Structure formats: structure tokens, C-alpha cells
Chain A
Amino acid sequence: MIRYLLKRVASGIALLCLVSTVTFMMVFGATGNVARNILGENATAEQVTALNSRLGLDRPLMVQFGDWVSHAIRGDLGPSWTMSESVASALASRLPVTLSMVTIAVAMMALLSAMLGIAAAVRGGWADRAIQIVSVAGFAMPNFWLGLLLVLTFSVQLGWLPATGYVSFGASPSAWAASLVLPVTALVLSGIASASQQIRGAVIDALKQDYVRTLRARGVSPRSVLYRHALRNAMPAALTVLSVQFIALLGGAAVIERVFAIPGMGSLTVSAALIGDVPVLMGVVVTLIIVVVLVNILIDFLNAWANPKVRMS
């Protein structure tokens, strides 16, 4: 168990190193136009050269990389090129916003898709049809379009909920909740589409197992067979779906934050990408990989709890 988790941590660190390196080479290798982007069309060649040397872009790529790494392992991701704050502090204020939105979305998705998936697996009928419709709709509708439709209906037409803007939980919990209703709804539909189908399949598979027949032959109640035995055995598959969906939602949040003007990681990434604020982009990628690795390790823990074979080895 300990060895297994250590292996996963090592694999996560290897992934982090590999992705940071590739991303660094890609984004810092293509900084030819960045200075001009930042200074604008009217800047003179001297100004551009001066900015390049101030940002350290005139050095060889490997030197820049070594410099970045030596700072990054101490938690210093450098200054932003376009904002008056450091990358680390920009991330520190943005990450909680995105994480709270994505966490709520994942929790809702898990709950709804578990309910829908189990109902479809056990009853078939309407729940099965609902899943089929939701899965096609959720897959085919871009989440930002759904977000736009929600804004159009509930904010512009009905005026029930704020169209844009984010209120922090500290400022007003109710306003915070209201500001998250539409974005979270837009985010979860596609997740529910895929997760409920997978959970349905996992529960059906579990119920088909021989031990379910044996448990029933011993007089165990159908409720216990489903909720205690089948669900426990369907857990690893469901957890895998959640980890995949969590990653998908982190990406999806980028577009959704744009629609609802939420100051999270996504909107930070988009503006940094458009202007070429390379240190911010590096910071975003590194942070998100760390988040993903941590979430996956958490999922491994839960998996070990559900699956004694993993726990004991």
C-alpha cells in the first residue's frame, strides 16, 4: 500500500518535471514577438531590445530554463510580465476561486450521476432513456454555449440570477452561492453525461458478478446487495471517472470563467495566452499539474479503501 502510493507520487513528480520542461521549451522558445506584443506596435527597436534583455529573453534557452527551475523549486515563479504582481501571488488569489467552483461542480456531478447511473442500472426504463438523452446532449452542447443560454434565460430575460461577476464567500456567502449557480450548472452537464453512463455500466457489471447471485441465494436483502456490495465494487470505476472529469472540468472552467467573468485560473490563463505573459502560463501549467497529481493520489487512497486487494499489496 505504502509502496504503491510512493510509486504514484514518484510518477506524479516525473510527470510534473516532464510537462514543465516541454511547456517551458514551447512557451519560452517562442518569445520572439512577446516584447513587441507588450509594448505595442509603435515601440522602437531599441525599446524592444531593452525589454527583451530586462526579461532575460536574450539569454540562451537552457540558461533561462535553469534560472526558472532554480527559482520555481523554491516557490518563486517570477514576476508577471504584464501585471504588477508576482506570478505566485496572482495564482494564490485565482486558484481558490477556480478550485471552489470545480469542487462544487465535481461534487454535484458525482451525486447526480450516481443517482441517475444507479437508477438506470437497476430500473432501466425512464432513467435509462434520461441518461441516453443527457449523454448525447451533454456531449454535443459546448458548455460555454449552455452557459450563454443560461445567462440569456435566467439573467437577461428572467433576471433571477446575476449574469456575471463573482462574489467571494467571505464577502457574502449567499451572493457567492448565487454567483456560482449558473457557471456550475453549465459545467456539470457534460460531466454528468459521461459519468452517469460509466456508473451505470459499472453497477450493471457489479450486479452481474457471481457473488451477487450467491449473496442473494443466502437471503441478503436487495437493498444491501445493491448499496453495500454492488456499489462498493463499482467504486473504482466511478472514482476513475471522477478523476477524468475533474481534469476535464479544470479545462472547461477556462471558458466558463470567461462567460461569467469569474476571476479564476481560467480567465488568468486566457488573458496571459492572448498577450503572451509567459511566466504566468508556466505558473498556471505547473500549478494545475500539481493539483491534478494531488487529486489523483487522493483518488488512489479512496480506491484503496474500496478495494482491499490494492490496500493489502
Chain B
Amino acid sequence: MSDINTAQAPIPAASQRRHFVRSVLSNPTGLVASLALLVVIASAIFAPLLAPNDPSAVQIFKVNAVAGDGYLLGGDGSGRDIWSRLVHGGRNTFLGALITVVIAASIGVTAGLFAGFYGRKLDLVARWISDGIMALPALIVLLAFYQALGASIYLSMAVFGVMLSPGFFRLTRNLVNGVKHELYIDAARVSGLSDLRIITRHILLSVRAPVVIQTSIVAGIAIVVQSGLEFLGLGDPSTPTWGGMLQDAFSNIYVSPQAILWPGLAITATVASLVLLANAIRDRMQQGGVQVRAPKVLPLAASQPLPQAAPDVLLDVRDLVVAYPANDGWREVVKGVSLSLRRGEVLGLVGESGSGKSQTAFAILGLLSPGGRVVSGSILFDGIDLGKSSQDEVRALRGKRIAYVPQEPMANLDPAFRIGYQLVEPMMTVLGISRAEATRRALKLLARVKLPDPERVFRAYPHQISGGMAQRVLIAGAVACSPDLLIADEPTTALDVTVQAEVLDLLRDLQKEFNMAVMLVTHNFGVVADSCDRVAVMKDGRIVEINSVADLFAAPAHDYTRMLLDSVLEDGKTRTYRPPMTEEMRA
């Protein structure tokens, strides 16, 4: 179940199939697993050649014989050759697993394709049935049906296939739900392909790889369960089976304990190969073909002399480089950014998405996503070198002196806790005040950010308030400890246009009230024009231009800035400043 999402990685096109197989095999795990599987399957196929004795032939002198005494691995409780039974046992095991897999996959994938594609009632019914089947203890059902199904293990394995079909169903259904609104499906529909054609040609193709993974897992489960049924005596006693061998070994456990080893090892090795192969395929799909290993050696920032900052400079960032591990070493997302903020100053950080502006902000907060590192450069906050400070020292600054307002208000409140608690907890930690005092302050803050009925909001869960209200709550949380620096990462992007202006007004008021320095990350020059003193323009991880707002709008120095400004003008978003017409516009 957990693999549903991970399994949705891009599927290699048919032309790349051979490359795909090769790269799965280039993974050592994948190679060993495939080889092991190949050996077990081949030995089952060629069992008559590999087995020196008839697996059912009884030699009375060799009852519980030790290994090497005539029989390679010894004799079982009836004097039969364990080695011969072992290689023959693989046959019925693989046949049983094949039956289970084919039935589970054909029912599950078909139902999943149709339920996912047509949705609604069909989906509802199919999901109820699938949940119902999953609520049944499969082994108990198979035991209960034993009399009805007769001694043939294959019928039981077929029923087991039905019971395992929900796994395929859920996987396929979710995958189809993911792709059915893709453009190429729409295109196929418009071009007049029938639903059946679309399902079989386009959608089936895109669920193929996850289904292969699921198949190999289900084959493993089938082998384990089949051996369990045979161990309980529900198999055909006349054919050699791994589970049956274990049953025999169990009854002779005091006489010939080593007999327990071989069939169990055969099962475990086979199933482990299947799982490892599935893992190798999954890894290959997730990683796009290249073995990812984060480079261990990190180019550490050279120990630089502490740069001397101007007295009123609060934040001084120099040559900041931020990198994340990637396929081929480290990928730099911020490539040497330098900027500074004075107390009470508002700096706009502008750029397209992916330009590194948010990563710069997170680096200053010390909250890069997992894997991310500040590779070089320095961040000085009020004379404190954050790069040289310990985790705890940086944490002590966060919330208290450096605060953060995020982009998506709803995603930034913990859905499991009341809003009041989410304001009170940090205040108690950071300011060391009592719960009652923190509650009093939180209510006051909620009123300050102009939320109607602060008491109700205090008691509400995040899903009970609107996005605009949530952003006010987050702003209240950010200014709760009267910070010196507020980093706002696109604080209005996710809000309705009417709410955007109100939230910006609120931020501006609070900035003046607390005399905070604000770093306003945005892609919107209108916001910059309304709120900022200075603006830095970022592109591809670098600052291309930094200037006062008035000067930058009047005379953008960099082509990229000009391009950004032009695109804003076309949207008609700014009204405050009217930059002079550029060459391109005259043309």
C-alpha cells in the first residue's frame, strides 16, 4: 500500500525497455536476486535431471538418514531422498504461485482499470468489495473452504488469488486516477479512440511497472501461504512439496532436526529473491536509472575572517552557496548570494520559481529541506555567524529573533492541533512563560491581526478556518515574540486577490509597529512596489541586480529584470510605479 505513490514514477518507453532491464541488473541486489530466482526456477524445470532419485521412492534403511549417507541431503521420515524432493517441490510451488498471481492480477488490474477510469458507482462498489476481502483472514478462509475445494492445492491457490486481488485493484485504481486526466488521455479521447482502446493502449501501459512489482510481492506471499497450507496437511500427500517436507521434518524434529533446514531455506531464498528483485525495480524507477549515493565528502566553507559589518546592518549574507545531493554529486540551487538588511528595512527578493529565492530564505532560517547544505559562504545575523553556531544556538534565535511567514497558509498549520495550542506552545518554549500568560498573549495577537472572534479561532482546528484567516494566524505566530527579522516567503501567493491586499497591509503595519527588518520573497513586482525599500532580483541561484525600489523600477540594469518587469506590465498588476518605456516596448 505504501508503495502506491512511489510506484508512480515515470515509466520507461518501449524503446528503453531493454535499457531498463539492463539497469535493474546493474544494481547488485537486482542481479543477485535475478540470478537466484533463475537458479531456483531452472532447478524446478529440470528437476528430473537434477534429482538422482524418484522423490517418492521409499528406502526403508534411509529413514531420517543423515546427509551424505546415500542421499545428498539425507532422508526424510519415510526414507525418501530430501534433495530429490526439494528440487521436485519447486515445481508445484511455482505452479501454485503462478495460479495465484495470474488470478489476482487479472481480477485486480481489470477491476482497477475500470473502477479508476469510470469512477463513481462502479468505483464505490469495487472499493467496498475490495475492503471487505481485505478484512478477511485469508488463511482461515482457505481452511474453511478446504472441504469444498478438495485436496488439490491449486484450487486453494486460485481462491487465494481472488483474496489477493485487492492489492492489484487498489494499486491500479490509484494509478489510473492519477493519469486519467493527463493531456495525452484527453487527446486520445478527442481523436476518437474508444474507451476500451484507451484503457488497454494508454492506461495499461502506464501501470505496467508498478504491477510488475506487485506481482513479484504477491508471488512471494503465495509461496509462503501455500507452504503453510501444505505444512498443515492440506496439500496433496502424493506430490513432494516444500510445505509437506516441513510437515514431515516437524514430526521428526527430535530425530532428524537438520531436515527442517532445507525446505525452509528454499522458501526463504526464493521469496527473498522476489522481494529484492521488486525492490531493485522500484529503486530503478524512483531514481531514473542512476545509482544515487550522496557524496560523502562535502566541500566545507573555508574558514574566513569574520567580515566586519556596518553597525546598523542586521543581516549580512555573503557568497552563500546552498546545494542538494543529486545524481552526480551536489546540485547547487543558490550560487553565491550576497545581500544585507538594515534594521527596520524591507527587502524584496524577486525571481521566478526555481531561482533559489526560497532556498536563500530557508538557509538563513537554518531550515533547508533534508539533504540540503550551506556549502560555503557566511550568514551573519546581528554579528552572530549562523554557520559557526550550533543547532541549538540557531534554534534559540528562531521564533525569538528571526521569524517566518510561509507561502501556503493551510499547509503550514498542524491539522491535528487546535490553533490556540500552535500559538501557545512556541511562546512557552521560546519565552519561557506560563500557559496562562501565553494564552493571554495569543488571544491578544489574534485580535491584533484583525481576526474577528479571536476566542473562536483560538479554539478552532485549522480545517475550520479560511486560508486568509490561516495566514493571519501564521503572521500572529511569527510576530508573537517580537522578532527583529521577519522572513516572509510569498505570503500572499496562495490567497484570494482581495485578501492579498489586506494581508500585505497587515504585514506593513506590523513591520512599522515592531520596527522589524523584513525579507519579502515574492515573484510579484506589484507587491515589491507596494511594500519594499530595496529589491534584489534572483535568477538561477544568483542575484543579478540589487537596488532601491524606485531606482530599479526607473532604470532596470539587467535584461532579466527588464523582462520580469515587462511581464508584470502585461499582466497589469502594478499601478504604483510606471517605468519608462523600454526599447522592446517601443518596437
Contacts and interface: CB of A to CB of B under 8 A. Distances in A.
B137 A312 contact: no
B264 interface: yes
A101 B132 CA distance: 24
Contact of A219 (B144, B147, B399): B399
A94 interface: no
A219 B396 contact: yes
Given A27-B148, A144-B228, A251-B139, A215 B414 contact: yes
A201 B2 contact: yes
Interface in A271-288: 273-274, 276, 278, 281-282, 284-285, 288
Interface in B204-240: 220, 224, 227-228, 231-234
A137 interface: yes
B231 A144 contact: yes
A142 B267 contact: yes
B264 A273 contact: no
A300 to B, nearest CB: 13
30 contacts: A23-B145, A27-B144, A30-B148, A140-B220, A140-B270, A141-B264, A144-B231, A145-B263, A148-B246, A197-B2, A198-B2, A207-B370, A208-B369, A213-B406, A215-B422, A217-B402, A218-B480, A220-B426, A229-B416, A232-B417, A255-B139, A258-B231, A273-B143, A273-B147, A274-B233, A284-B140, A293-B135, A296-B135, A307-B416, A308-B461
A30 B147 contact: yes
Contacts of B234: 273-274
Measured as residues with beta carbon below 8 angstroms from the partner, the interface class of chain B is 35 or more
Given A151-B253, A152-B257, A270 B143 contact: yes
B138 interface: yes
Contacts of A266: 140
Interface residues of A, number: 81
B128 A137 contact: no
B275 interface: yes
B144 A306 contact: no
Interface of A: 11, 15, 18-19, 23, 26-27, 29-31, 33-34, 135-137, 139-142, 144-145, 148-149, 151-152, 156, 197-198, 201, 207-211, 213-222, 224, 229, 232-233, 237, 240, 244, 247-248, 250-252, 254-255, 258-259, 266, 269-270, 273-274, 276, 278, 281-282, 284-285, 288-289, 292-293, 296, 306-309, 312
A125 to B, nearest CB: 13
A219 B395 contact: yes
Contacts of A214: 404, 406, 412-413, 474, 477
Given A213-B367, A217-B404, A274-B146, A144 B246 contact: yes
B276 A136 contact: yes
A309 B227 CA distance: 44
A44 to B, nearest CB: 22
A172 to B, nearest CB: 25
A308 B430 contact: no
A266 B272 CA distance: 27
B429 A139 contact: no
A251 B416 contact: no
A251 B138 contact: yes
A256 to B, nearest CB: 10
A152 B253 contact: yes
A89 to B, nearest CB: 19
A142 B250 contact: no
Nearest to A230: B414
Given A211-B411, A244-B134, A140 B143 contact: no
Nearest to A311: B461
B403 interface: yes
B141 interface: yes
A259 B268 contact: no
Contacts of B464: 312
A237 B5 CA distance: 14
A99 B518 CA distance: 60
A26 B268 contact: no
B517 to A, nearest CB: 16
B426 A140 contact: no
Contacts of A224: 425, 429
B307 interface: no
Interface string B494-517: 000000000000000000000000
B73 to A, nearest CB: 16
Contacts of B399: 217-220
Given A269-B143, A289-B136, A140 B272 contact: yes
A216 B396 CA distance: 10
B153 interface: no
B366 to A, nearest CB: 9
A273 B145 CA distance: 8
Contacts of A27: 144-145, 147-148
Most buried by A among B147, B220, B370, B403: B147
Given A232-B416, A308-B461, A259 B144 contact: no
Contacts of B132: 15, 18-19
B463 interface: yes
A281 B412 contact: no
B469 interface: no
Contacts of A209: 411
Given A145-B246, A308-B415, A219 B400 contact: yes
B535 interface: no
Interface in B381-410: 395-396, 398-400, 402-404, 406-408
A198 B413 CA distance: 24
Nearest to A26: B148
Given A250-B140, A281-B143, 19 more contacts: A27-B144, A27-B148, A31-B147, A140-B269, A140-B275, A142-B231, A148-B249, A197-B2, A218-B426, A220-B399, A224-B429, A232-B417, A233-B414, A237-B2, A254-B140, A259-B250, A285-B140, A308-B415, A309-B415
A148 B243 CA distance: 12
Contact of A142 (B146, B227, B362, B407): B227
Most buried by B among A11, A29, A142, A278: A142
B463 A145 contact: no
A142 B264 contact: yes
Contacts of B253: 148, 151-152, 156
Given A142-B264, A306-B416, A216 B398 contact: yes
A233 B137 contact: no
